[in-house]
Amino acid sequence: MDHSDDEIMYIDSEEENLLSNDEERESDDNYDGLADQEDHMKRSQKSYWTGYITTKIEDGSGCLRVACPEPSCSAAVGQDLIDKIAKKEHKEKYYTYFLRSYVEEGKKFKWCPSPGCEYAVDFGGSSSTTSNYDVSCLCSFKFCWDCCEDAHSPVDCDTVSKWLLKNRDESENTNWILTKTKPCPKCKRPIEKNQGCRHMSCSAPCKFQFCWICLKPWTGHTACNVFKEDNEDKTKRKRAKEAINRYHHYYERWEFNQSSRLTAVSDLEKWQSMWLKELSAILGTPETQLQFTVEAWLQIIECRRVLKWAYAFGYYLINHEPSKQHFFEYLQGEAESGLDRLHKCAKEELKQFIAKTKDLKKHFMKFQAKLISLTKTTKSYFENLVNALENGLTDVTHNEIIKSTQG
């Protein structure tokens, strides 16, 4: 096999033949003998190649880069040869490795992180929009393209990462708060001491300067080396309790909305597989005209997802920006109240129409108008919340600037 060292050659399946079919025969007398030899050598070479390729495939994904076994030859083995001589089970393994390589080495493909799912997701957007972008797999699982966690828009990946890490080991976080941080005496935000000096300065916009040891203002500060029984342990316990209570407030609601969302997913599956058909038969109405019930459940599921991550966002809102916090809590409360009304209507009031009652169609028309209205209203509330979070709650800051200018 002649080729230059800089050239990649691929072994074609026809190179199994040691003797060319169009090779000139020396005589008619020895033709049959040569044919037998050629057939024997073909079988021997095929057996060798089958064993060689089988071994490489069994060794793992390195079979994608398998080369000619001849030490002096660097030609790569082509897929046509593998297709021709490998057994079915080994072909399947080879193409599984090939698919994985294609997905994992590409920038627009990722495996779905849902347990048990074997689908790969093709990202259809441009590379500039892949940050904090939620995608949906064919298995219905939604995840963030950037960090592969559950879909968490409009909350950014850094906040999600910090929140999940905190949830995994809250006891250690509480100890860290006690030993490594102290609250700013002015804005109460936890501050980490990262230098040796006890002169501390809170970050902007607070910028309050104080003593790390006694927490007194640095202006006019005097020596604080004299022991005073000021219940320091009691203060530490109070700080720890406040930190834990605050965390539990947000975690409990984060967990509730996660659990409620999963229940809603299950309820929707039951509704579509069982009750929707039964209601269609009772009312004598096509299922296509009852899709507003499915849309309501889909809205509930999406809103529970957003509300879940909104609580993680709220936990990291800094205390020295009360205007942003109040604006966020107002939008969150409005959205949550609307969602509770919609969820109750879909879960409790919808069930009554499965039982055959008098004037069913009349009552159902009123219910239909109510459910559609609640779905639209709730969607509007959550659009406001999502837009505010995506903009970093800048709307409230902008409004304050306008008010101060007018004043």
Residues tagged active-site: 197
| Cα Rg, the chain, nearest whole Å | 34
Burial class (CB within 10 angstroms; exposed 0-12, middle 13-18, buried 19+) of 65: exposed
What would the two tokens of residue 158 be? 């850094």
The secondary element (H helix, E strand) that includes residue 299 is helix 291-315
Diameter of the chain measured on Cα atoms: 118
What would the two tokens of residue 125 be? 């957007």
Residue 185 CA from chain centroid, whole number: 38
Distance between start and end Cα atoms, the chain: 88
What would the two tokens of residue 255 be? 């967990």
Give the strand pairing for 181-183 and 142-144.
unpaired
Residue 49 CA from chain centroid, whole number: 44
What one-letter code names the amino acid at 67? Answer: A
Report the C-alpha gap between 165 and 172 in whole angstroms: 11
The C-alpha angle with vertex 50 and arms to 47 and 55, in degrees rounded to 5, equals 130
Q: Are 258 and 241 in contact (CB under 8 A)?
A: no
Q: Are 360 and 283 in contact (CB under 8 A)?
A: yes
What would the two tokens of residue 68 be? 């000619």
The C-alpha angle with vertex 260 and arms to 254 and 262, in degrees rounded to 5, equals 105
Positive or negative torsion for Cα 375, 381, 385, 387: positive
Burial class (CB within 10 angstroms; exposed 0-12, middle 13-18, buried 19+) of 50: middle
